[in-house]
Structure 1
Amino acid sequence: MPAHSRAVVVAAQTDEPQGIELFLPAGYDLFWSSVVIVIIAAVFYKMILPRMNAVLDERASLIEGGIAKAEAAQKQADEALAQQQELLAEARSDAAKVREEARAEGTAIIKELKVKASEEAERISETAHRQIEAERQAAAVSLRTEVGALATDLASKIVGESLEDSARQSRVVDRFLDELEASQTVASTKEA
């Protein structure tokens, strides 16, 4: 083996990292990697980060605005619901009052109609009694007249004398009718 080759082999053997050096990069690699990272970080920090922050801020404001709108809508819905429930309670109360008033009015009308019907029945009954009494008196007068005429004719025929005198005729008729009523009274008390 030539000396030259041996030097390359020995140099190659001495350049190889050993132990922990296997995991650590070379110094120049660390330097240039750091420079590239700083450049990328500067570009990211100056150009991309402000745009991302603007987009995120815009989204945050939209979300907050949406939340505010939703809260306002919820508040309005709650107020509308409370108002509707209040109106419903008021309507129920009014309906109950109207029902109660209708019942009271119906009861008053029924009482009034009963009173009127009672008064009308009483008036009709009184009118009927008066009419019956008038008819009874008219029948009694008519009967007295007819009975008186018959009694006078009969008495004239029995007695054989004329009873044409009105005073005499009247006395005879009255006496006859009184005796007839007395006999009817006695007969009705015996039956009872």
Structure 2
Amino acid sequence: MGPLEPKVNELIVAVICFAAVFFTFAKFLVPRITKTLEARQEAIEGTIEQSEAVHAEARQIHAEYQAELSEARHEAARIRQAAADEGSLLIQEVRAEGQRRRDELVASARAQLEADRIVAEAALREDVLRLATDLAGRILGEPITDERRAREIADAFFAEVDTDSAAKA
């Protein structure tokens, strides 16, 4: 008998053993395996749904972050512009104040110079009058005592010099 012609009683025992194993698998193991596979499938699907929800939430948070970042950039630009405008206003105010103070100082200095010039001119005229009187007295050989007359001559001379200098200017 060979493998192609088995003995009937061995074939019956093999079929009964096969049926017992098949029945055991079908009755006990396949439902457990199916149940475990279904649980795994549900867990995987739940995890996928959860990861999609987390991913969607992450995208939403990222979009909110980008919006806040953009708003913060706009606010920073506005603050920088306001500071630059305020700085330029302060610079203009300081320049105007400096210009005003400079003008005041220049006007004060000019007034002081004019006053000093007038005082110096008066002192020089007195000195010139005194020196001219002394010189005229030396030339004549006797002192000149008529101060009123000497002053009139000197004033006429200075008036002539003033008109000449005004005409040249």
Same fold, TM-score > 0.5, yes or no:
yes
Question: Residues of 2 paired with 1:185 and 1:63: CA distance?
Answer: 111
Question: Residues of 1 paired with 2:166 and 2:58: CA distance?
Answer: 95
Within the candidate set 146, 149, 169, 2:130 is matched to 149
Query: Against the structure 1 CA distance between its residues 185 and 116, is the aligned structure 2 distance closer, same or farther, given a 3 Å change threshold?
Result: closer
Structure 1: 5+ residue stretches without partners: 1-27
Note the C-alpha offset of 1:185: 4.1
State TM-score, norm by structure 1. 0.66
Number of equivalenced pairs: 158
Matched with 2:95 is 114
Identity of aligned residues (%): 33
Question: Residues of 2 paired with 1:184 and 1:49: CA distance?
Answer: 133
Within the candidate set 168, 172, 184, 2:149 is matched to 168
Question: Residues of 2 paired with 1:43 and 1:108: CA distance?
Answer: 95
Residue 33 of structure 2 aligns to which amino acid in structure 1?
Answer: M
Q: CA RMSD in A?
A: 3.2
Within the candidate set 60, 69, 86, 1:88 is matched to 69
Q: Deviations over 1:6-29 (max 9, x none)?
A: xxxxxxxxxxxxxxxxxxxxxx9x
Structure 2: 5+ residue stretches without partners: 1-7
Mapped contact 1:152–1:173 kept (Cα < 8 A): no
Decide which structure has the larger Cα Rg and report it.
Answer: 1
Greater relative CO (CA pairs within 8 A, separation 6+)? 1
Question: Residues of 1 paired with 2:48 and 2:107: CA distance?
Answer: 86
Query: Against the structure 1 CA distance between its residues 185 and 54, is the aligned structure 2 distance closer, same or farther, given a 3 Å change threshold?
Result: closer
